[in-house]
Copies of this chain bind each other. A is one copy, B any other.
Amino acid sequence: MDRVRLHQLLTGVRDGTVGVEEALAALRTLPFEDLGFARVDHHRAIRKGFPEVIFGQGKTAPQIAQIAQCLVAQGQQALITRLDEAKAQEVRVLLPALRYYPEGRLGAVGEPPLPPQGQGIVLVVAAGTADLPVAEEAALSAQFMGNRVERLYDVGVAGLHRLLGSAETLHAATVLVVVAGMEGALPSVVAGLVDKPVIAVPTSVGYGASFNGLAALLAMLNSCAAGVVVVNIDNGFGAAAAATLINRLTCHQPRD
């Protein structure tokens, strides 16, 4: 039952062609999503900031191309995550408009990235060069979602001077995405230096007792520094999405 049918029902009540009890019965079985006014608006609001995202891993090139084309046909952008280089080439054959960013394993189609929406800076900090694919997934995704993004890479805790020497960059950020594998100590150290929210991203970089990122994940969850929150292992996109929602608050108009 959509808005039109709901209008008809109410008009019927007004006009007396539909009884009150009959309308009550009709409303009783009203499907939720057909009503769902606020939710539709809300969905639209989300879409303005968040392009549609296609998780590329485990999908075939034709599947990805088809979903992306469908979105483009509706005038939307699409961001494709976890898209390796070989598959990207296959997708491009089907979808020549595909832009590919190998450093973050991301693809994109549709109009160019959104203009900045939040007024702040999303700073992506990475511990080592092996963490860069995840860091770039975060940085590029955040750019794609309309954030101003800066990068601070290769500042692992075993050489603190590199991090401490970038204090200005750290303090200028509005929200920080801190990416680290191995022992995952960087978010704690960074969060001890800034007074902004830190989104920690453990990576699967390491071997042996890193257990594919479990060590870094647990370290970040147990951070002794206040203000650290965590996303899944290697989830650069997830961190970017949360950072986007936080950065937007800098434009926030409070309710009164």
Q: Which residues of A contact B (CB under 8 A)?
A: 3, 6-7, 10-11, 13-14, 16, 20, 23-24, 27-39, 42, 45-46, 49-50, 53, 55, 57-59, 119-121, 127-130, 156-162, 164-168, 171-172, 174-175, 182-185, 188-189, 191-197, 199, 202, 204-235, 237-239, 241-242, 245-247, 249-250, 252, 254-255
Contact = CB atoms under 8 A, between A and B. Distances in A.
Copies of this chain assembled into the complex: 8
Contact of A223 (B183, B202, B218, B224): B183
Nearest to A20: B10
B165 A34 contact: yes
B35 A23 contact: no
A227 B255 CA distance: 22
Nearest to A244: B227
Contact of A29 (B23, B37, B189): B37
A60 to B, nearest CB: 11
Contacts of A232: 207-210, 221-222
A32 B222 CA distance: 26
B172 A255 contact: yes
A222 B182 contact: yes
